[in-house]
Amino acid sequence: MIIIRMMGGIGNQMFQYALYSELKYLGRDVKMDDLHGFKEDEQRDPVLTESFGIQYERATEEEIRDITDAHMSFLTRVRRKLFGRHSLEIVEPDGVFRPEILKVDHAYLTGYWQSEKYFPDAQVRQLLRDTYALQPEKLIHSEEGWALLQQIEESESVSVHVRRGDYLWPGVVENFGGICTEEYYQKAMERILQDKPEASFFIFTNDKEWCREHMKGERVFTVDSTKDEKDADLLDMLLMSRCSHHIIANSSYSWWAAWLNDTPDKIVVAPAKWLNNKDMSDVYTERMIRI
């Protein structure tokens, strides 16, 4: 059996489910642990079922204890003290693709698995596109929202994801900060305009005030119409995915928004560095332009 630990935000969970889907396709007995990865994370919960209606097999506590050698009986504790722990946990050290993960039969997988290489089969990719497809009629509840979708679909639209907020918190900024700077976004926009001079830029952000002050232009719009929607995060992902081109942040959220746009002529610009403290070279797809 293989058990995948679910953790992190919606984009991270989408990557973990993508690996789950690939392993299922390969015929493995695979389940999800959607409990332990959130016990110490007050900011996040498992959201795939609520967001996309996804159903997956859940590992039991007994199965998790078996595979991680975490039983607390007296004899088990004595055995561990004498001979060491025999856990089958594999912890992902960085963002470099490890092909052996697709070959394991018995493991508890702890990581984010942020690479398209963990779901290489065309059937799985189509399954994910179908599963993650968001329906406008379920998420847009205002005339303003429908007008924005129309504007996006009828223009040479570019989604621009600016993530500040939690990325500036102590303990987080050290890993994510100083990468997607104002200079990065300026260069990314200039790169898009080289090929698409009529491009309009739609900024999706958790810091609208900063973006209005620092990111201005005749065809630059900070999206504000989704903030009061019940499923604002899903609506933003939907709208971003409907854009023609994408400037993403070092964020799995905008990675997926860009990936869900499968048009052959899309341009995707990504930061040349993803994290400050880990090699994330395999997070990039072949179609991404790194700046």
Task: Read off the pTM.
Answer: 0.92
Give 111-138 pLDDT, tens digit per residue.
Answer: 999 999 999 999 999 999 999 999 999 9
Residues 63 and 148 in one domain: no
- Residue 16 sits in which domain range? 2-130
Q: From CA 129, how far away is CA 109, in angstroms rounded?
A: 23
Handedness of CA 169, 285, 134, 31 (dihedral sign): negative
List of the chain residues with pLDDT < 50: 74, 78
Residues 174 and 280 in one domain: yes
Last-in-domain residue among 130, 165, 185: 130
Q: What is the pLDDT of residue 169?
A: 78
For the range 98-101, what are the long-range contacts, defined as Cβ-Cβ under 8 Å and sequence gap of 24 or more? 101/19
CATH label of the domain that carries residue 215: 3.40.50
Q: What is the pLDDT of residue 229?
A: 65
Residues 174 and 195 in one domain: yes
Residues 285 and 150 in one domain: yes
Last-in-domain residue among 130, 145, 171: 130
Q: From CA 65, how far away is CA 199, in angstroms rounded?
A: 53
Residues 277 and 264 in one domain: yes
Strand partners, 91: 110
Give 67-108 pLDDT, tens digit per residue.
Answer: 997 755 545 554 555 555 667 999 999 999 999 999 999 999
Residues 106 and 152 in one domain: no
Q: What is the pLDDT of residue 82?
A: 52
Residues 9 and 110 in one domain: yes
Last-in-domain residue among 130, 152, 170: 130
Q: From CA 22, how far away is CA 129, in angstroms rounded?
A: 13
Residues 123 and 182 in one domain: no
